[in-house]
Amino acid sequence: MKRTITHLADGRELIYFDRRDDADRGAVDRRPLDPRPVASELRYDPLTEEWVAIAGHRQTRTFLPSAAECPLCPSTDTHSSEIPAADYDVVVFENRFPSFSGNFGTYRDVGGLSEVRPGAGRCEVVCFTSEHSSSFSRLSDAQVELVMEAWADRTAELSAIEGVEQVFCFENRGEEIGITLPHPHGQIYAYPYVTPRTARQLAAAAKRPGLFADVLAAERAGERVVAANELWTAFVPAAARWPYEVHVYPHRRVPDLAALSEEERAAFAPLYTSVLRALDGLFGVAMPYVSAWHQAPVRHLRELGYLHLELFSVRRAPGKLKYLAGSESAMGAFVNDVLPEEAARQIRSQVDH
């Protein structure tokens, strides 16, 4: 793998990940870009003891452009995108409209009981392929491994930034999920705090050492496994919140993507893409989903973390979506319309064999 660092016209970092050592990455971004926005505000909610990022500059971010104006496609003679090169394998760059960054401004006292501090951290975009009309499910095993190399590289680099407490790699896919760019891509958030869901999982693991491994062992012995190989297992969790939800665990406990072996990265690719294709096959349409890597925090209770991926869709039936209505949105109390065992059976029936 060849790794090349360059910069965009406004100073943001861009990193090419190439399979070929002779890839030419000398193209220059000549766009007249506006100055980078200041970092968001972090405001503390004393009732939930959670931080909320207030990022008003994100209101102006690009929203569902035409394919000819896609900012994630390679640049051409008639269109300059976020990637100056005429082609690429995998690219990572700093988000132009970040929720967290190191570009601090002036932060005021907002009154009440809310503490305010800078939204320190970093947000990056990961372009999985230069092919605009492709998807993660259609990537070759070698391309998935290159994406994983990029995830691992960025996890290690971002974890070393002062003030970063957790690194989150994820993909949002489908307009039903709320994507603003259809080009196959994901994002990476380097948070200045441990996120609420991770904190809850670690608190549970602190009460029962080996909890993640116990969950995996129990699921591997049951009826909700949808795909497996020697190093990974994909299953629908017993208490799935979403109509179609799949968790993917490595059999060996590692804290994050950077700690995976070459063999584990290679084994992940065919299993994961087969699950994605199975989801698309359920109703004969591209399944909207969120795919979220859960990594151990950089410092807090890191020894309890267990890398795993949680994949879920808001589609519950052909033409029907699962909306987070009153119970879920107001109370955080989920009600699932699909029996997890039935969801597992349906997905398993579609997995490539």
Strand-pairing partners, residue 41, are 54, 118
Catalytic residue among 183, 185, 294, 308: 185
Give the angle 59-63-67 at the CA atoms, nearest 5°. Answer: 160
Strand-pairing partners, residue 190, are 122, 167
Copy the structure tokens of residue 237.
Answer: 């969790």
The DSSP line for 73-111 is SBP-SS---SB-SS--SEEEEE-SS-SS-S---------
Is 185 in the active site? yes
Q: Which residue has the tokens 């993917």?
A: 248
Q: What are residue 316's phi and psi, to 5 degrees?
A: -110, -15
3-state DSSP call for residue 143? helix
Q: What are residue 164's phi and psi, to 5 degrees?
A: -80, 130
The DSSP line for 282-321 is HHTSPPPEEEEEE---SSTTGGG---EEEEEESEEETTEE
Could you give the residue numbers annotated as active site? 185
